[in-house]
Amino acid sequence: MTSYKDIGVETNGHVAIIEIRKPPFNFFDIMLIQQIANALDEIDADPEIRATVLCAEGKAFCAGADFGDPKRKETEAAAKSGDPADNLGSIGHLYTEAVRIFRAKKPIVAAVQGAAIGGGLGLAVSADFRVTCSEARFAANFTKLGFHPGFGLTVTLPELVGKNNAELMFYTSRRLTGEDAFKIGLANLLVPQNQVRAEALKLAREIAECSPLGLLSTRATMRGGLADRVMAATKHELAEQTWLRATDDFKEGVKATEERRVANFKGR
């Protein structure tokens, strides 16, 4: 396996383990998503691997984008643009890499031991299954930032938890506990925090006991067209995010989140 900067990849029998290594919050950016997609391509090319565990070191699974990155604020480009999302680079490029994750051929089990927020929620939902704990938090916090959901969540979240539950998460930006996530089908297993990774590995091993050709065939049927639907969704999401990231409300939403207060939105 290739050596990566922000992730570690190892194999355990017929199971691959991808570990995000940007603790404590494991904020995502284009490079992280690209590395995960590249690792999944390698896993697909290895006939010995039948399933993957996606996990993370640190307190969070993936806390989304780091809009509070001090390095971003110090850059000349940021000072000129005033855009809190400029450290993400081209969001269109990020979503191109995200779609590659959805094109992976083998089952993925996400071990969500902490926060999965915004794009981090999108990453968790890209997996086939999620193992979590009561301490975890799940949030599609885009509207609280004055933003539009992304990472294909407008397709993937309703398909997983139902349209109305997804709307509730989008419109309120509320954080769900691991118990809440389990109740609505966002998580498949709820276990003690110190057992999350072990239970995810156990599930992946159970999957890997099955016929590799049968797995590939059945998953292709069950997820047929998903990557294409996500690609279409991200095009629309990007268009909405592009004009919203230029608004005063987006700047206020990010600032309010950094300052841990209720935002004073003006609708402009």
Closest CA to 43 of 31, 32, 54: 54
3-state secondary structure of 235: helix
Closest CA to 120 of 158, 188, 201, 175: 175
Q: What is the dihedral of CA 233, 239, 241, 245, to 10 degrees?
A: 170
Checking if the pLDDT of 144 tops 90, the result is yes
For tokens 């690792």, name the residue.
39
Q: Is residue 267 part of a domain?
A: no
Q: Are 61 and 113 in contact (CB under 8 A)?
A: yes
Q: What is the chain's mean pLDDT, rounded?
A: 93
Percentage of the chain lying above the pLDDT 90 cut: 88
Q: Is residue 84 part of a domain?
A: yes
Q: Is the pTM of this model over 0.85?
A: yes
Six token digits for residue 214? 């049968």
Checking if the pLDDT of 123 tops 60, the result is yes
Neighbours of 220 (CB within 10 A): 10
**What pLDDT, on the 0 to 100 scale, is given for residue 92?**
81
pLDDT tens for each residue of 150-195: 999 999 999 999 999 999 999 999 999 999 999 999 999 999 999 9
Neighbours of 158 (CB within 10 A): 16
**What pLDDT, on the 0 to 100 scale, is given for residue 91?**
79
Q: Is residue 218 within a helix (H) or strand (E), and if so which, with residue range?
A: helix 212-222
Beta strands in the chain (DSSP E): 7-12, 15-20, 51-56, 108-112, 115-117, 129-132, 137-139, 176-177, 189-190
What is the average per-residue pLDDT within 22-26? 96
**What pLDDT, on the 0 to 100 scale, is given for residue 78?**
44
Q: Which is more confident, 75 or 257?
A: 257
Enclosing domain of residue 94? 7-193+212-258
Q: Is residue 232 part of a domain?
A: yes
pLDDT tens for each residue of 39-90: 999 999 999 999 999 999 999 999 998 876 555 444 434 444 555 555 455 6
Percentage of the chain lying above the pLDDT 70 cut: 91
Spatial strand order in the sheet of 137-139: 115-117, 137-139, 176-177
Q: Is residue 242 part of a domain?
A: yes
Q: Is residue 205 part of a domain?
A: no
3-state secondary structure of 7: strand
Q: Is residue 42 part of a domain?
A: yes
Find the CATH number of the domain harbouring 106: 3.90.226.10
Of 54-68, 88-102, 200-214, which range is least confident?
88-102
Q: Is residue 204 part of a domain?
A: no
The domain tally of the chain equals 1
**DSSP secondary-structure letter at 143?**
G
**What pLDDT, on the 0 to 100 scale, is given for residue 68?**
67
Give the integer Cα–Cα distance in Å for 94 and 46: 25
Q: Is residue 21 part of a domain?
A: yes
3-state secondary structure of 44: helix
What is the average per-residue pLDDT within 6-35? 96
Burial code (b: 16+ CB inside 10 Å, e: under 16) for 66-80 equals: bbebeebeeeeebee
